[in-house]
Structure 1
């Protein structure tokens, strides 16, 4: 008697392959991360990333499998693809609010300078940034001092740069990249047991952590790498040319505005709002061209 074999269905997906745990049998429990819900999976294949300082981005072949514990998948092939755009592989659910990851994708999509887009993908492919950017506060006790504050603050600044009129394409793109990465060093400064990093300041810590991404940017666009190093280190205030100083000043202004907007509704703003009184008689004094002339 012939028995028909069940049809095996597989699918391909680009994903970040996250190792959950290994079993004594040699099986690895995996989580496949992309912009939608994570995919539960198992495999006997090696899951070490090509670069220990980057998440494993890969094309994955998976087969659905029903078990007594529920639905899962068997991974039959993992092809590392380190140049995949990481922003398509960040689950929507990583954000502390429903739209924060989507807003990040949208503002990165506005960056049309290819070397800067690859730079941002390199930065967000770092395990600490990929996972913790969405949950880190922007400060300990000042503005956006709550989980997810760093992402909200940085994305808001980048959106403001994107929407600023009369910027050149390069000024806009450098400004977006700077806004998204200006506080990135706080991911390491605020990590448990990292109090010793506070002496350096988050600017220098961030600059050091982004060294690899900046070196790759320098291969594609040397001037862009120099510009971002100057902006991230604060050197633009002394040595930057006029276009670079304009971008630095713009991002700094949006930084301050974002901080103030976060503090004011929670009554933590350091300055009292101005509430001028109106003249009792309702009269408006005439303008005097000559301050020495008596009022008429």
Structure 2
């Protein structure tokens, strides 16, 4: 039995190969991937319009028919175009396999689509139009020791910060969307200072916070031309004085909200790392890679059992 349905989306080319069918008809086989799926696709000369060949990492927009055969799925491409990674394609075309948590990549797309202010939405699109930045942002850890220290941790941490900022009940719609951008990219400098398993050479000499503006320079320049005040506000949020650095004193409450979101996400993940290594009844734990110790409130019990804090005192 064969079922068919239309396909129209943007993908990244993983492999391109000229083949010969059993009837001696030449065709082009493509292995394609985006944030949602990986597909095998055929370009048949009698029904296909588009380039004769592709190279790895090309971004291609396709239209075709998906055929569900008894033992496999294939897409017959009717039309294809090599396109730049701009607009929505900058995110959709990111291969889900380059991040260990593909659901986070899809959440990033949902967050971007929810932004109503066009210059801010375009800011995200432009940032991820740089393929090197995109692959680093969705695959790197947020740190190597202390929090979100796993592949894809930078994206996970950034999304958590976005959620925390968005949950602030008194923010205006404009401030909430600006805060989304600020929280999402607050660690963008780590795409310069971090590598998968160690710091990049520059990471030993320059703090990642000092490189946020450099990592987002092109996107900020575009925002300068479409909404200057928003570009200034983002620069202020990312560079003003925090608890650990010098700079201008914050002139926007959103600065403190974004910085607090960063600390909350980091501390919660560090706490989770500590308690993953101990029995569930323990209320005290030490972080595996630092001297930080944590205490947690265990669930209430009405059977008279001594709680974790009391047990520690008795011991």
Deviations 1:4-27 (A, max 9, x none): xxxxx99552203335357799x9
Q: Does the 8 Å contact 2:36/2:106 carry over to 1?
A: no
Query: Which position in structure 1 is the counterpart of 2:194?
Result: 190
Query: Which position in structure 1 is the counterpart of 2:237?
Result: 231
The question of 1:125 aligning with 2:126 is answered no
The question of 1:263 aligning with 2:270 is answered yes
Distance 2:201 2:96 in 1: 33
The question of 1:242 aligning with 2:247 is answered no
Query: Which position in structure 1 is the counterpart of 2:62?
Result: 60
Matches within 5 A, 1:208-227: 208-227=214-233
Deviations 1:143-186 (A, max 9, x none): 11111211111100001111110101221111110111111222
Larger Rg: 1
Q: Does the 8 Å contact 2:115/2:177 carry over to 1?
A: yes
Deviations 1:17-44 (A, max 9, x none): 335357799x986443344312234664
TM-score w.r.t. the length of structure 2 is 0.67
1:176 pairs, out of 180, 185, 195, with 180
> How far 1:133 moved relative to its partner?
2.6
Distance 2:216 2:29 in 1: 30
SS in 2 for 1:167: coil
Q: Does the 8 Å contact 1:35/1:91 carry over to 2?
A: yes
> How far 1:110 moved relative to its partner?
3.8
Q: Does the 8 Å contact 2:99/2:151 carry over to 1?
A: no
Distance 2:32 2:142 in 1: 28
Aligned residue pair count: 263
Provide structure 2 residue ranges, at least 5 long, that are not aligned to the other structure.
Answer: 21-26, 44-50, 275-286, 296-307
Query: Which position in structure 2 is the counterpart of 1:16?
Result: 11
Distance 1:29 1:17 in 2: 14
Q: Root-mean-square deviation (CA), in Å? A: 3.9
> How far 1:190 moved relative to its partner?
1.9
TM-score w.r.t. the length of structure 1 is 0.71
> How far 1:232 moved relative to its partner?
2.8
Measured at CA, do residues 24 and 215 of structure 1 come closer, stay the same or move farther in structure 2, by a change above 3 Å? Answer: farther
> How far 1:142 moved relative to its partner?
1.2
Query: Which position in structure 1 is the counterpart of 2:88?
Result: 84
The question of 1:252 aligning with 2:259 is answered yes
